[in-house]
Structures are given as structure tokens and as C-alpha cells.
Amino acid sequence: MRALTISTTGSLDAVEYSTDVAAPVISGPGLVRLRLQAAALNHLNLWAIRGLPGATVTPKWVLGSDGTGVVEDVSDDVTSVQRGDRVVINAGLSCRRCEYCLAGEQSLCVKFRVLGEQAPGTFAEQVVLPATNVRAIPPSVSDADAGAFGLATLTAWRMLVSRARVGPGDEVLIWGIGGGVAQAALLIAKARGARVWVTSGSDEKLQRARALGADELINHTGIDVGREVRARTGKRGVNVVVDSVGSATWEQSLGALGRAGRLVTCGGTSGHVLQMDVRKLFWNQWTIMGATMGSDSEFDSVVAELVAGRLSVPVDSVFPLERGREALERLQGGRQFGKIVLQIGP
Ligand SMILES: [Zn+2]
């Protein structure tokens, strides 16, 4: 089958468009095989290309975590979907047996894995994955919207709804509004009645975020965002900060955070090691929280929003699978507004 693969970790030069990858087969209970139609890029694809601790790349390794496609085949015991169903993928693979899985907290699974990182991914004509990781969607949802949807909205939902519990009256600051998770966070926070602040290095992206509902715009180029937020809020700061940038923004995020503020993070694209003054943490009574991906029930929630037409992430661009490396370069360069999608099927 055709697929976007790597045979060794490194730079984007390691990414190959292959036409001779062995098609995956259903090898046990509880599985489905999809014929993929579209699959979005995520930052974690770039991490997988650079090499992740604990993830072994066996040539040819298929990249890709998000996706949408049609169910081609299912294990005998699968009843949740059937052949011919169009589905959207949840990329988080959980063991279904540990105490976290049994408690319904699949993203805390002690054996948690992600498609495209520790299991063959979705930038391919076919993928095999657990039936519990797919949900049927109606024809009203386009391939690009469905392919762009899973990871960004699930991650944002867990951060804002389950972890930070954003609601009416909250002021929420979201860094880097060009990215899919940030945009999903904006849409979810607005739908829950919050006022939303967004940052970008691009005035054009800020204006586009305004059209998505952003209330306060900050071009973060050359300024201290924490100071700017305090100046605009009479020194009160915001209630919630969504920061997945890490070391480059951390101090400014804390500077923007008001009393009893909640800071939620799902990553550190600029660097992973952070510093803080514990006096600020206890004096302001902050809560610092992490989140990654989401649970089965959170995935049900975001898919219900998608099906109802209330939540979808902007699509920046669509590339054919064979131009996948070019698409990854666009993601790495940070030029996008929304999700970059690979079209795989016809
Ligand atoms: Zn588990």
C-alpha cells in the first residue's frame, strides 16, 4: 500500500513516500481495518520523526495519528461499527485492563500508546486499530473536517472541560492561535461562556482568530504577554492559561495568571524544562495541571459536538499523501492557520 514512512529517525529528510508498504491485517479480537480517506498532521508526528524515548522505529514505519476512513473489515466480536461505516479515529491506544482504563481514564493507561508513535500510523491507505478507537460519523461531515478533528479537539476538550473546568466568567489565555489544539481550545472555551484571549506572532492569524470568536488579541512578538495581560485587566490577570509552548512562554504565562489561576499544558514545543518561584505558586493559590489526549467518554463528547455541527477545527490546507513531506515542512515552519490535512483516498 501507499504510505508516508520513515526508516530511521532524524530530520524531515527521513520522511519517504512509499508505495510498497505491507498492508496491515486483522490479527485478533476487537480490531477494525480502515481504508483511510484523510489524515491530519500533528506536532507529535514531528516528535516521532525526531525520535521518541521508548518508541522503536522498524522500517518502514508508518507515521500519522489522526484520520478518517471507511471500515473495510472487523474482527468477529466487533459490533460497535460495521463494514462500510465512515469513522473518525481516536489515536490513543489503551490496554483496557489497568486500573485507569477500568476507571474510564484511558489516557492515564499505564501502557498508553499513540498511533504513529508506538503503533503503525494513519498516513497510509489502510490501518488496523481497536474498534474502541473509532466512532461512526454521518456523510454531513467532510473528509477534511473529520481527518483534522480527533487529536486537536480531544486534547483541547480534556484540557479545558475535564481539567481546567472552564465556564462562564472565566478569562482564558491561549498561546499560539495558529495551531489546531489552540483553535479547538478557543472554540470550546467560547462555547462554555468564557472570554478568550489569544496570542500569535502574526496579525493576520489574530484577525482570523477574531472571526472564530476571540475577544482579546495579543501579538506576542517582542512583548511580555504576562505584563500586557495584567495591564489590560487592572493587574487581575486571567483565570486560565492554556500553554503548550513550554520554556519560551512559561514565565509570561505565570505572569498572566491571576489569583487561584489554573494553568493547563499538553506539551512544550519550545522546550521542556521549566522554572518557577514556589512563593508565587502558594501565594496566588495556583493550580498547574497537565493533560494528554483523552478518555473514551471525552472522545464520545467531542464526536457528539462534531456530529451536531457545533465543533470543527479550521483546515489550513490539504495535500495529497505523496506530498506529505512538504506538508510536514509547512507544519514545522509554523505557517499554518488550522490543520494541515493529507488526502489519501479518492
Ligand atoms: Zn490501561
Q: Separation of 315 CA from ligand 1 center, angstroms?
A: 32
Q: Separation of 268 CA from ligand 1 center, angstroms?
A: 25
Q: Separation of 103 CA from ligand 1 center, angstroms?
A: 9
**What torsion do the CA atoms of 224, 228, 229, 234 make, to the nearest 10 degrees?**
140
- d(CA 346, CA 344) in angstroms, rounded, equals 7
Contact indicator for 311, 326 with CB cutoff of 8 Å: no
Q: What is the largest CA-CA distance in the chain?
A: 62
Q: Separation of 107 CA from ligand 1 center, angstroms?
A: 8
Q: Where are the alpha helices (DSSP H) in 30-179?
A: 43-50, 99-102, 143-157
Q: Separation of 114 CA from ligand 1 center, angstroms?
A: 13
Contact indicator for 265, 248 with CB cutoff of 8 Å: no
DSSP state letters, 168-182: TT-EEEES-TTSHHH
Q: Separation of 119 CA from ligand 1 center, angstroms?
A: 16
Q: Is the dihedral of CA 270, 316, 197, 240 positive or negative?
A: negative
Chain length of the chain: 346
Tell me the three cell numbers of residue 165: 473546568
Q: Separation of 91 CA from ligand 1 center, angstroms?
A: 14
* pLDDT score recorded for residue 346: 82
User: Residue 344 contacts by C-beta under 8 Å, 6 or more apart in sequence?
Assistant: 2, 36, 37, 38, 39, 69, 123, 124, 125, 321
Q: Separation of 240 CA from ligand 1 center, angstroms?
A: 30
Contact indicator for 15, 324 with CB cutoff of 8 Å: yes
* pLDDT score recorded for residue 269: 87
One digit per residue, pLDDT tens: the chain, 346 residues? 999 999 999 999 999 999 999 999 999 999 999 999 999 999 999 999 999 887 778 899 999 999 999 999 999 999 999 999 999 999 999 999 999 999 999 999 999 999 999 999 999 999 999 999 999 999 999 999 999 999 999 999 999 999 999 999 999 999 999 999 999 999 999 999 999 999 999 999 999 999 999 999 999 999 999 999 999 999 999 999 999 999 999 999 999 999 999 999 999 888 889 999 999 999 999 999 999 999 999 999 999 999 999 999 999 999 999 999 999 999 999 999 999 999 999 8
Within a 10 A sphere around the Cβ of 77, how many other Cβ atoms?
10
Give phi and psi for 193, each to the nearest 5.
Answer: 90, 15
- d(CA 313, CA 339) in angstroms, rounded, equals 7
Q: Separation of 251 CA from ligand 1 center, angstroms?
A: 34
- d(CA 33, CA 295) in angstroms, rounded, equals 21
* pLDDT score recorded for residue 222: 95
- Output the CA angle 140-144-146, nearest 5 degrees: 60
Tell me the three cell numbers of residue 8: 530511521
Q: Separation of 93 CA from ligand 1 center, angstroms?
A: 9
Q: Separation of 296 CA from ligand 1 center, angstroms?
A: 12
Burial 275-298 (b: 16+ CB within 10 A, else e): eeeeeeeeeeebebeebbbbbbeb
- d(CA 240, CA 263) in angstroms, rounded, equals 6
User: How is the beta sheet containing 171-174 ordered, strand by strand?
Assistant: 216-219, 195-200, 171-174, 238-242, 257-265, 287-290
* pLDDT score recorded for residue 143: 97
Q: Separation of 264 CA from ligand 1 center, angstroms?
A: 23
- d(CA 260, CA 122) in angstroms, rounded, equals 41
Q: Is the dihedral of CA 287, 159, 132, 327 positive or negative?
A: negative
CB neighbour class for 140 (10 Å; exposed up to 12, middle 13-18, buried from 19): exposed
* pLDDT score recorded for residue 57: 86
Q: Separation of 195 CA from ligand 1 center, angstroms?
A: 36
Q: Separation of 123 CA from ligand 1 center, angstroms?
A: 25
Angle, in degrees to the nearest 10, between helices 324-333 and 43-50: 100
Amino acid identity for residue 247 in this structure: S
